[in-house]
């Protein structure tokens, strides 16, 4: 007799407010969120407390009034209020748009207008005289007076508006019009599981939730009943200590954080005994840095995903795969990819061109809210987000920089990320960005802006150039450099490349620039011989000269 196997049906998708309610009912006293404040204070709330807080915040927002379908801006730093406000908006069926809490009020107002938002919850002192702004402190005070009553859980459609392009220009607004629901156990289809993410883990949130990736993983964690340990502000040593102290099992980082944590590792002595998944994304990870973390954790606990807010597709790679394909960001996962040359011809394996991807499932398609934004698609629906790449014979993708960032120096195309990875491998360099500077002879010259690991250190004049010459072609070696105290990055660790490039262009045109508007000068003695910085450096003025 043939046995008939009956498979249980897949769980039905639920909204994030309803999912929170389930956790509050089944595990009310288990810890849900622990916040590590920058001043050293620690606070924890359980699931019942988090659910009640969300109801009270929703009550306050409803009085603004926030209705189902309305857009609410959230310009808050990491913390319980950020998590609770996002969930309260979703409980009301509203759409969220997270904003950098450090943005000027005029920029926040402009984004609210573009998104047609009804209001924004912002940090205290951020232009709160504006009628559309609600200060976080005021919201906390109002929610304490709100009635303890359950609000009905609505479904947002869309759930959020994502900002893209803020590091390279005016942010583009994108959204996904699907109902804001997920399936318990499969909150992001098969993707999350492939990155070492699972239900019930303890997750360290160390990136700013004003950015899409940290926000997404934090909220996916709450959806899956994870205990979130949220850092109010990233600090490498504190993050390392938290991994052992709280038995962290999943953490998402970016390469900038990875460098800082690696530097602090010997002093902290973290064991990583509990860690299951060390996942990184958002920027190209230099090979030396990836290998260093594989040496620390072992290949099986390292995961990487390449994707974008446009959600046109993604690649995934494990540490073990990376050792076999060093430098790759992985093979397309539930995605198809192809590479085109400048003439629109499909390129074979090994040749660099523009990367186009297409998700195999079109259910989660993202669209731009700005009708003026042109989408680059081919006739088969493959979309580009402007990245250059090549693929090997096995289909592994290797990124080669942004299409708009390629430097044309004397007719040779140079990809900044390649040069940056070599600069970052020098023991004296803490951070680096490479841009094209206007040049009479070369059209553009490769210019590096670097941050030294030790402000008091001195790099010999030819040392950095010789280091680059070991790994780079002559045209790729920086012809000029500027040393600064701090490179500008956003809350997610992404370089503000457009800002740096504009500043370097102004330097090249005028010969001097007021450094404090972008960066602060290093002590004169550390850079004078190597980079030809003039005596005006002490007053915050820079000059560049070839090395």
**What does the pLDDT look like over 372-403, one tens digit per residue?**
777 788 999 899 888 889 999 999 999 887 77
**Sign of the CA dihedral with 510 first, then 513, 518, and 523 last:** positive
Confidence (pLDDT) at 348:
95
What six digits make up the tokens of 503? Answer: 């500043």
Which band of pLDDT confidence, cut at 50, 70 and 90, is reported for residue 417?
confident
What six digits make up the tokens of 381? Answer: 């629906």
- Mean pLDDT, residues 36-48 taken together: 97
Which band of pLDDT confidence, cut at 50, 70 and 90, is reported for residue 7?
low
CA nearest 101: which of 206, 260, 232, 280? Answer: 232
Confidence (pLDDT) at 545:
34
Confidence (pLDDT) at 66:
95
Roughly what angle, to the nearest 10 degrees, separates helices 80-91 and 136-145? 60
**Sign of the CA dihedral with 303 first, then 306, 311, and 312 last:** negative
Which band of pLDDT confidence, cut at 50, 70 and 90, is reported for residue 298?
very high
**What does the pLDDT look like over 265-288, one tens digit per residue?**
999 999 999 999 999 998 778 888
**What does the pLDDT look like over 160-195, one tens digit per residue?**
999 875 444 567 898 988 999 999 999 888 999 999
Q: pTM of the entire structure?
A: 0.79
CA nearest 139: which of 50, 63, 57? Answer: 57
Instruction: Answer for the pair 287, 295: CB distance below 8 angstroms, yes or no.
Output: no
Instruction: Provide the CA 426 distance to its chain's centre, in angstroms.
Output: 24
- Mean pLDDT, residues 191-207 taken together: 96
Among 86-90, 102-106, 510-514, name the one with the lowest average pLDDT.
510-514
All domains in the chain, ordered by first residue: 47-182 (3.40.50.980), 406-539 (3.30.300.30)
Q: 525: burial class by Cβ within 10 Å (0-12, 13-18, 19+)?
A: exposed
For residue 460, is pLDDT > 90? no
């Amino acid at each position: 007799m043939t046995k008939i196997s009956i498979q249980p049906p897949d769980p039905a998708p639920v909204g994030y407010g309803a999912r929170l309610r389930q956790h509050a009912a089944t595990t009310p006293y288990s810890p849900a969120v622990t916040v590590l404040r920058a001043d050293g204070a620690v606070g924890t709330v359980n699931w019942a407390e988090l659910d009640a807080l969300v109801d009270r915040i929703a009550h306050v927002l409803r009085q603004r009034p926030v209705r189902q379908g309305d857009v609410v801006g959230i310009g808050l730093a990491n913390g319980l209020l950020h998590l609770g406000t996002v969930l309260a908006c979703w409980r009301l069926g509203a759409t969220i748009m997270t904003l950098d809490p450090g943005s000027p009020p005029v920029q926040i107002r402009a984004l609210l207008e573009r998104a047609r938002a009804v209001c924004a919850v912002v940090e205290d002192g951020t232009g709160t005289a504006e009628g559309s702004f609600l200060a976080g402190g005021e919201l906390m005070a109002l929610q304490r007076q709100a009635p303890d009553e359950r609000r009905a859980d609505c479904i947002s459609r869309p759930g959020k508006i994502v900002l893209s392009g803020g590091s390279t220009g005016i942010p583009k607004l994108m959204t996904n019009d699907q109902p804001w629901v997920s399936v318990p156990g499969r909150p992001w289809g098969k993707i999350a599981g492939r990155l070492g993410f699972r239900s019930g883990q303890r997750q360290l949130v160390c990136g700013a939730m004003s950015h899409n990736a940290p926000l997404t993983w934090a909220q996916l964690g709450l959806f899956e009943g994870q205990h979130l340990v949220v850092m109010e502000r990233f600090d490498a040593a504190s993050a390392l200590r938290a991994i052992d102290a709280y038995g962290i099992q999943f953490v998402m980082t970016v390469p900038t954080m990875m460098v800082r944590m690696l530097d602090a590792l010997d002093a902290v002595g973290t064991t990583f005994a509990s860690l299951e998944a060390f996942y990184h994304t958002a920027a190209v990870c230099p090979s030396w840095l990836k290998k260093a973390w594989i040496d620390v954790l072992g290949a099986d606990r390292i995961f990487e995903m390449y994707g974008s807010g446009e959600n046109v597709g993604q690649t995934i790679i494990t540490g073990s795969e990376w050792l076999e394909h060093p430098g790759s960001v992985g093979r397309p996962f539930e995605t198809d990819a192809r590479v085109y040359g400048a003439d629109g011809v499909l390129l074979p394996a090994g040749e660099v061109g523009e990367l186009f991807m297409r998700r195999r499932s079109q259910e989660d398609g993202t669209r731009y809210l700005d009708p003026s934004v042109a989408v680059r698609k081919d006739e088969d629906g493959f979309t580009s987000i402007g990245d250059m790449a090549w693929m090997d014979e096995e289909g592994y993708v290797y990124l080669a920089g942004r299409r708009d960032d390629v430097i044309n120096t004397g007719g040779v195309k140079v990809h900044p990320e390649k040069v940056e990875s070599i600069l970052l491998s020098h023991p004296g360099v803490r951070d680096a960005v490479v841009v094209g500077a206007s040049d009479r002879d070369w059209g553009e010259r490769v210019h590096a802006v670097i941050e030294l690991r030790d402000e008091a250190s001195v790099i010999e004049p030819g040392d950095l150039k010789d280091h680059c010459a070991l790994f780079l072609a002559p045209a790729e070696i920086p012809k000029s450099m500027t040393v600064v105290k701090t490179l500008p990055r956003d809350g997610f660790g992404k370089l503000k490349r457009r800002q740096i490039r504009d500043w370097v262009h102004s330097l090249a045109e005028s010969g001097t620039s007021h450094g404090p508007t972008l960066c602060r000068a290093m002590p004169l003695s550390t850079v004078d011989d190597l980079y030809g910085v003039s005596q005006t450096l002490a007053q915050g003025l820079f000059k560049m000269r070839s090395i």
